[in-house]
């Protein structure tokens, strides 16, 4: 149930039911201008920061949360997995940059817990959508990376050698562990490496890879924010 918006992002169509919400998962065809969003200097950490409504770089970290109408938070990716989370009752939103290092540090779980403990969200009110990143078809890693997933993938016996890891699935598991109902955690099934026409990919394009912006924002009352306006 993903659709394309006029500006070239992918949108999770069921979220159109929330008139207060705006979001998009970046593609190579969407604008990559960050100036309208609150962003982070992303360092592959598990740091979650609270943003208000002011655009600009807030500091170092890899997940942002805002409850402020007019606020719009964004993450940059090119293979790492973008995750957007909403509290549909209290109107709080989060954006997460989950590469393999952030995933190992459980950033998706930490972000959900941040909403629950810091904002009083009920897990049953949270919805998450896991956007396009490098998928299990293409994320082949050596044992030095694979072994770091041992506690996250306790059933796997092949983590001491070259293997493939599905980062979206690991992030999904973390969100379920944080208490989100399974029906409220959606994946997209897209792969940034395979879908050349749609996505930048660091693994495929190396230093030539661009970056894509995934964003989520809270509209003001009766407002028509144009975060992507030319
Ligand atoms: Zn792939």
What is the distance in A from the centroid of ligand 1 to the CA of 89? 35
Assess if residue 26 is contained within a domain: yes
What is the distance in A from the centroid of ligand 1 to the CA of 189? 10
What is the distance in A from the centroid of ligand 1 to the CA of 138? 4
Per residue of the chain (230 residues), give pLDDT as tens.
999 998 899 999 999 999 999 999 999 999 888 888 999 999 999 999 999 999 999 999 999 999 999 999 999 999 999 999 999 999 999 999 999 999 999 999 999 999 999 999 999 999 999 999 999 999 999 999 999 999 999 999 999 999 999 999 999 999 999 999 999 999 999 999 999 999 999 999 888 888 899 999 999 876 666 665 54
Assess if residue 224 is contained within a domain: no
Assess if residue 93 is contained within a domain: yes
What is the distance in A from the centroid of ligand 1 to the CA of 137? 4
Longest CA span, the chain: 55
Task: Supply the range of the domain harboring residue 155.
Answer: 2-218
38-41 and 56-60: which strand pairing?
A: parallel
What is the distance in A from the centroid of ligand 1 to the CA of 44? 21
What is the distance in A from the centroid of ligand 1 to the CA of 166? 10
- Per the confidence metrics, is the pTM higher than 0.85? yes
What CATH number does residue 168 fall under?
3.60.140.10
Assess if residue 189 is contained within a domain: yes
Assess if residue 227 is contained within a domain: no
What is the distance in A from the centroid of ligand 1 to the CA of 19? 34
Assess if residue 226 is contained within a domain: no
What is the distance in A from the centroid of ligand 1 to the CA of 48? 28
Angle at 210 between CA 208 and CA 211, to 5 degrees: 150
Assess if residue 230 is contained within a domain: no
Angle at 141 between CA 139 and CA 143, to 5 degrees: 155
Q: How many structural domains does the chain have?
A: 1
Assess if residue 128 is contained within a domain: yes
């Amino acid at each position: 149930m993903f659709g394309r918006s006029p500006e070239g992002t992918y949108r999770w169509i069921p979220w159109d039911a929330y008139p207060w919400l705006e979001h998009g998962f970046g593609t190579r065809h969407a604008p990559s201008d960050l100036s309208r969003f609150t962003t982070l200097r992303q360092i592959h950490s598990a740091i979650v920061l609270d943003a208000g409504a002011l655009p600009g770089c807030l500091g170092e970290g890899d997940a942002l949360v805002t409850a402020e109408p007019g606020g719009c938070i964004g993450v940059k990716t090119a293979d790492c997995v973008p995750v957007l989370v909403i509290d549909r009752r209290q109107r709080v939103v989060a954006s997460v940059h989950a590469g393999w290092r952030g995933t190992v540090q459980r950033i998706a779980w930490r972000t959900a817990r941040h909403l629950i403990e810091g904002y009083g969200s009920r897990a049953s009110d949270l919805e998450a959508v896991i956007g396009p990143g490098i998928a299990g078809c293409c994320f082949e890693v050596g044992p030095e990376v694979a072994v770091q997933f041992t506690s996250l993938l306790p059933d796997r016996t092949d983590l001491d050698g070259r293997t493939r890891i599905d980062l979206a699935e690991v992030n999904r598991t973390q969100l379920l562990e944080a208490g989100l109902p399974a029906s409220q955690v959606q994946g997209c099934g897209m792969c940034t490496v395979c879908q050349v026409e749609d996505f930048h990919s660091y693994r495929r394009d190396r230093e030539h890879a661009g970056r894509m912006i995934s964003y989520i924002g809270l509209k003001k009352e009766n407002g028509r924010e144009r975060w992507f306006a030319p």
